[in-house]
């Protein structure tokens, strides 16, 4: 994520994400309509010997993929921002990385245990109990995925810092050996 303020980043990326998704849906609809349309299916492009419907459908799907990739890049940045906000709201402080990753793992275990303990209790409530069990499952899954994502980011930062320090040491050793010659 860049060094821009969070609000500016959200203001810039959210509309871009929305428009990319809208454009992807539009091109997907165009592709679906073109593939079903009989008049364009019967046209063959001379010289290429390709069905016009197939070609237009392929191009529309290609544009759909481009807009989805663009949306994915914005969604990843926004998910980092949302993850930071939610993790802070859960009361997880920004501290030493390895400690925070271990705490996230403990939270995952606690969430699994609490959700598992709630299932029999919620199951006794009849039809609404089944609905509450399903909701509990999805909420627990969402929180667990969020924490796993946070652990992944922490591990990535730790490995990146270590790799940079190794690269710095190697560069210094290369400099020293070059200066000795």
Confidence of residue 1 (pLDDT cuts 50, 70, 90): very low
More confident residue, 95 or 115: 115
Phi and psi at residue 34, in whole multiples of 5°? -65, -40
Q: What's the pLDDT band for 21 if we cut at 50, 70, 90?
A: very high
pLDDT averaged over the chain? 82
Q: What is the mean pLDDT of residues 155-173?
A: 88
How far from chain centre, in Å, is Cα 42? Answer: 41
Task: Flag whether pLDDT at 38 surpasses 70.
Answer: no
Give the DSSP H/E element, type plus range, for residue 66. helix 52-89
CA distance to 5, 13, 28, 57, 61, per residue, from 44 (Å)? 53, 41, 22, 14, 19
Supply the pLDDT for residue 46. Answer: 83
Q: What pLDDT sits at residue 153? A: 85
Predicted pLDDT at 146: 87
Higher-confidence position of 3 and 166: 166
The mean pLDDT of 2-30, rounded to a whole number, is 85
Rounded to an integer, what distance in angstroms lies between the CA atom of residue 89 and that of residue 47? 62
Q: Is the pLDDT of residue 65 over 60?
A: yes
134-161: average pLDDT: 88
Q: Are residues 60 and 30 in contact, defined by beta-carbon separation less than 8 angstroms?
A: yes
CA 85, 140, 71, 54: dihedral to nearest 10 degrees?
A: 180
Instruction: Write out the E strands in the chain.
Output: 44-45, 50-51
- Is there a contact between 74 and 114 (Cβ–Cβ < 8 Å)? no
Residue predicted with more confidence, 94 or 65: 65
Whether residue 95 contacts residue 20, with contact meaning beta carbons closer than 8 Å, is answered with no
pLDDT for 96: 65
Mean pLDDT of 130-153: 89
Residue 105 has pLDDT above 80, yes or no: yes
Stretch 51-70: mean pLDDT? 83
In this predicted structure, the answer to whether residue 7 has a pLDDT above a threshold of 90 is no
């Amino acid at each position: 994520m860049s060094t821009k303020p969070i609000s500016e980043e959200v203001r810039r990326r959210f509309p871009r994400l929305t428009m990319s998704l809208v454009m992807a849906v539009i091109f997907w609809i165009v592709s679906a309509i073109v593939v079903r349309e009989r008049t364009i299916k019967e046209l063959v492009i001379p010289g290429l010997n390709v069905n016009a419907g197939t070609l237009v459908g392929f191009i529309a799907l290609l544009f759909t993929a481009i807009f989805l990739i663009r949306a994915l890049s914005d969604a990843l940045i926004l998910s980092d921002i949302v993850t930071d906000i939610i993790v802070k709201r859960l009361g997880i402080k920004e501290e030493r990385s390895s400690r925070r990753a271990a705490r996230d793992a403990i939270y995952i275990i606690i969430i699994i245990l609490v959700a598992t303990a709630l299932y029999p209790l919620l199951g006794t409530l009849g039809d609404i109990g089944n609905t509450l069990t399903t909701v509990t499952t999805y909420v627990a899954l969402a929180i667990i995925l969020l924490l796993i994502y946070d652990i992944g980011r922490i591990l990535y930062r730790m490995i990146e810092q270590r790799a940079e320090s190794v690269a710095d040491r190697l560069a210094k050793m290369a400099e020293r050996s070059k200066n000795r010659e």
